[in-house]
Amino acid sequence: MKARNSMSKVRRFADVVGLAVAILVVIKLFSASNDVLMLYGRWDVVVVTFAAVSTLACVIPRSFCVRTIWHASFVILALIMIAGCLVLLASSVHVLGNDSLPAMTMLRCSFAFVVMMAVFVLNDVFFRQESFGWFRDNAVSANVLFLVVAIAIPATYVDTLSEGFHNDLEQALDSNRYAIAYRYSAILTQLNPRGMVRGESLHVIANQLGKMVGDFEAAVRDPIPRNASIAERRNRVTLLMHLDRNRQALVELQSFTQGPQFQPISLDYCGLCFQRLEMYSQSLAAYQASVSYWKTQDEGNRRKAGLVSGWKGIGYAARRLNQRRLEENAYQELVHVSPSAAHHLLLAQCYRDHQKTSLAAEHYAITSELDPGLMSQSQAMLSNMSRDHFGCWNVPRH
C-alpha cells in the first residue's frame, strides 16, 4: 500500500513537471511570433495566462474520447487552426481599436486554452495515455471553479500590472523621461489598449512619445562638433537626459562643472543623472556642490531656485543613503528657503518616517493651511499616525 502511494506521488510530481515543461515549450515555440507578443504584451502575462488555463485545458480533452493517433492528429490540427484564427482576430481587433480589457482577456485566455488543450491531447495519446488523471476526476462544480480561475487570474494580473505601469508612465512624464515613458506607453497599449492617460487615449500618447523619442534619437545620433556652441551642447545634454542616457549626459556635463565654461545648473544635472543611475553618494556630492555655490550668490530668483533644487536633491540622496540627520536638515533648509505647502509636506513625511510624529503633525497642519488641496492627504497621514502606537500620544485626533 505504501509503495502504491509512493508511486502515485511520484506520478503526480511527474505530471506537474510535465505540465511545466509543456508550458515552457509552448511559450518558446511562440516566442518568435510578434502577433502573440502583441496579444499578451509581456511574457509574464503569457506565463500567468497559460498556467491559469492549464487545469481547465487538462479536463476538457476527455470529452473528445481521443483514443487513436489519427483522431488525436485531427484534433490537434483543428486546435492549431483555431489558435491561428484567434491570433488573426486579435490583430484585427488592435487595428480596429475595439480592444477593451475584457475582450483582450477573453482572447488571451482562449488562445492559451486552445494551445494547452493541444498540448494535453498530444501528451495523452502520443506520449502517456491518461496522463494528468488526478485533475480529471472532478465534479461539475470543480470544473466551473477551474473556468473562473482561468479567466479571473489573468484578468486580475493584467489589471494590476496596468495600474502599476500607468503610475510609472505618469512619473516618467512628470520627470521628462520620455524614452522610459514611451516604453511604458507601448506596453500599456497592449495590456489595456483602451486606457487613458491625462485625458488622452493611450494610442495617442504612445504615438506622440514615439515621434518625440525618434526626433531626439535623430538629433543625438551624430557626434557633436568640437566647435559647437555652449547652447548646442546644453541642448544635447538635455536630449540625452530625456532619452535616459545618463552616462553619456555626465560625459557631456564635465566641461560645464568647472573651468571657463562653468554652468551652475550643470551641478544639479549631474546630481540628477547620478540619482537616476542609483549612484547616491555621487548624487549627494553634486547637489552639495550646487548648494555651496548658490549660498555665495546674491539674493534673487535664480539663487532661490538653485537652493530649492539642491536641498531637494540632498534630501532624496540622504534618504537613500539612510543619513537621517542630513535628510532632516535638508528638508528643514528647503522649508526655510521656500516655505510652500509642498515643501512642508516633504518635511512632514520625513519626520513621519523617522517616527517624530509631533513634528510631522505640525507640518501636516501647516500644509493644509497653505494649500487646502492637500488637506485630504494631510488628514489621511494624521489619521494613520494617530493609529500608530509609536506616536498616538502626540498626534491630535480629528
Domain boundaries, the chain: 2-159, 245-335, 339-398
Would you say residue 286 has pLDDT above 90?
Answer: yes
User: Among candidates 162, 308, 168, 189, which has minimal Cα distance to 244?
Assistant: 168
pLDDT of residue 70: 56
Helix or strand (DSSP H, E) at 232: helix 230-242
Q: Which residue has the higher pLDDT, 75 or 332?
A: 332
Percent of the chain residues past pLDDT 70, beyond the cut: 68
pLDDT of residue 12: 52
Would you say residue 137 has pLDDT above 60?
Answer: no
Burial of 79 per CB tally in 10 Å (0-12, 13-18, 19+): buried
200 bridge partner residues: 197
What's the average model confidence in pLDDT over 177-198?
Answer: 87
Instruction: Give the mean pLDDT of the chain.
Output: 77
pTM of the model: 0.72
pLDDT of residue 54: 79
Would you say residue 89 has pLDDT above 70?
Answer: no
Q: Give me the CATH code for the 245-335 domain, please.
A: 1.25.40.10
pLDDT of residue 322: 94
User: Among candidates 279, 285, 346, which has minimal Cα distance to 314?
Assistant: 285
Q: Is 300 left (phi over 0), alpha (psi -120 to 50) or beta?
A: left
Cα within 13 Å of Cα(328), Cβ side: 11
- State the pLDDT confidence band at 393, using cuts at 50, 70 and 90: very low
Helix/strand/coil for 200: strand
59-86 per-position pLDDT tens digit:
765 555 555 555 556 566 666 666 666 5
What's the average model confidence in pLDDT over 28-37?
Answer: 55
pLDDT of residue 99: 58
Cell, residue 171: 512619473
147-165 per-position pLDDT tens digit:
788 888 888 998 899 889 9
What's the average model confidence in pLDDT over 270-294?
Answer: 95
CA distance 283 to 310: 10
Highest mean pLDDT among 88-97, 114-123, 140-149, 161-170: 161-170
* CA 287 to each of CA 18, 130, 284: distance values in angstroms, whole numbers, following the listed order: 56, 67, 5
Do 198 and 222 contact (CB within 8 A), yes or no? no
pLDDT of residue 296: 92
- Helix, strand counts (H, E) of the chain: 18, 2
Helix/strand/coil for 269: helix
pLDDT of residue 210: 93
CA distance 266 to 237: 9
Q: Mind spelling out the 3-state secondary structure of 272-303?
A: HHHHHCCCHHHHHHHHHHHHHHHHCCCCCHHH
Question: Lowest mean pLDDT: which of 121-125, 264-268, 350-354?
Answer: 121-125
Query: Strands 196-197 and 200-201: what pairing?
Result: antiparallel
pLDDT of residue 43: 79
Would you say residue 124 has pLDDT above 90?
Answer: no
pLDDT of residue 7: 55
